[in-house]
Structure 1
Amino acid sequence: MSYTVYGAVRSRAFRVLWLLEELGVPYTHVPAGPQSDEVRKISPLGKIPVLVEGDTVLRDSTAILTYLADKHGAFTLPAGTQDRARQDAWTFRILDEVESLLWTASKHSFVLPEEERVPAIKDPCRAEYARNLTRIMEEAQGPFLMGDTPLVPDILLCHCGGWAQSAKFPAGPDSFGAYLATLRARPAFQRAAAL
């Protein structure tokens, strides 16, 4: 088993690198940017991250996280259980209520052609992000979203917290700051951040 991760650390690829560090499995990291020749050779859309395992090429950070967690039996609950359905609900909620707002603001900051950007969209995104984050933290069930053990949705939400900070989004409630600090203190997070 050998994994290769394509993608710059300061991108969604960080999520994959962090989980691989948590799992303690060997991997190779190619810090390529989106649309680079290296990435386009294995993924025609040019998006990162990309995980290569043998002849298999996986795209999309959440799909990769779910695959790795299921394969290695960590950072996830068993597929086909009600607990897993609740975990997946958290995953989809974070993608919908947190990441989508960050991505919309990013597109209107530097991704879309200038003539298509609507800078005014960023303020409503920030306001909705703050509301959603407050509700999410009110519903968290422990130090992590579902209790005492971090799972895939925690990796997603923690990464989004860093993205939000870079994008000058609201810090959120104090409980979110404590949540982020707990996850960022993990040795695997630190190793991935040092890449």
Structure 2
Amino acid sequence: MYDVIGSRASRAFRVLWLLEEMGVGYNHMAVAPRSPEALAANPSGKIPALRDGDAVLTDSAAIMTYLADKHGQFTHAPGTVARARQDALTHQILDEIDGTLWTAARHSFVLPEEHRVPAVKDSLKWEYERNLARLSDALTGPFLQGETMTIADILLVHCLMWAGKAGFADPDDKLKDYMAMMVERPACQRAAALP
């Protein structure tokens, strides 16, 4: 059984949601970054971490890819064009959406105050809207890759949820409908109800 280390109010939510979708058992350690439990799993204290036997994996996208590949769910087979497109979407979301949100968070509350540049947030919000529009254009529905839900869908919807809480612009109607469909999934609801 897996141990998921990290509060659901973090990127650990992505991992928890995926495990709920897959119906795979896990123990959830709802801990904060740099807590003793987080530091024991990852010397940087960052969350999430996933313990699988003696192995400890870090980074939410890497964990999700590992789980999807291991269980053969919510992913396309490695070495296929569909998988290359899935990986491209995953990296696009990480680079253009998640990275923009994380930079804004760092300049809001993560970095020491003397290193924050609050004015950068205006350009990040502009960049986020531009990048999100490209993803909306690519959405073929009902999922990012048509009929197959992948880890990229969980990643994007978690970013959309995060953006809403961080005061970024609402997505367009197409992405709003997509997000509403995704967050109503029972697995997402179960993950959202965790401590």
TM range (shorter): over 0.9
Question: Displacement, 1:98?
Answer: 0.4
Partner of 1:59: 58
Would you say 1:111 and 2:104 are equivalent positions? no
- SS of 2:46's equivalent in the other structure is coil
* 1:1-195 correspondence to structure 2 within 5 Å: 2-195=1-194
Q: Encode CA deviations 1:94-147: one digit per residue, 9 max, x unaligned.
A: 011101100000000000000000000111111111111111111112111100
Root-mean-square deviation (CA, aligned residues, Å) is 0.6
| Distance (whole Å) between structure 1 residues aligned to residue 107 and residue 186 of structure 2 | 35
| Distance (whole Å) between structure 2 residues aligned to residue 101 and residue 193 of structure 1 | 23
Question: Displacement, 1:42?
Answer: 1.9
| Distance (whole Å) between structure 2 residues aligned to residue 99 and residue 86 of structure 1 | 18
Unaligned runs of 5+ in 1: none
Q: Which amino acid aligns with 2:190?
A: R
| Distance (whole Å) between structure 2 residues aligned to residue 42 and residue 172 of structure 1 | 35
| Distance (whole Å) between structure 2 residues aligned to residue 52 and residue 71 of structure 1 | 14
Aligned residues: 194
| Distance (whole Å) between structure 2 residues aligned to residue 38 and residue 47 of structure 1 | 10
Return the TM-score normalized by structure 1. Answer: 0.98
Q: Encode CA deviations 1:7-52: one digit per residue, 9 max, x unaligned.
A: 0011000000000000101100000100001111121110000000
Q: Which amino acid aligns with 2:12?
A: A
Q: Encode CA deviations 1:50-99: one digit per residue, 9 max, x unaligned.
A: 00011000000000000000011110000011110010000000011101
| Distance (whole Å) between structure 2 residues aligned to residue 51 and residue 127 of structure 1 | 34
Runs ≥4 residues deviating over 6 A: none
Unaligned runs of 5+ in 2: none
State the percentage of identical aligned residues: 57
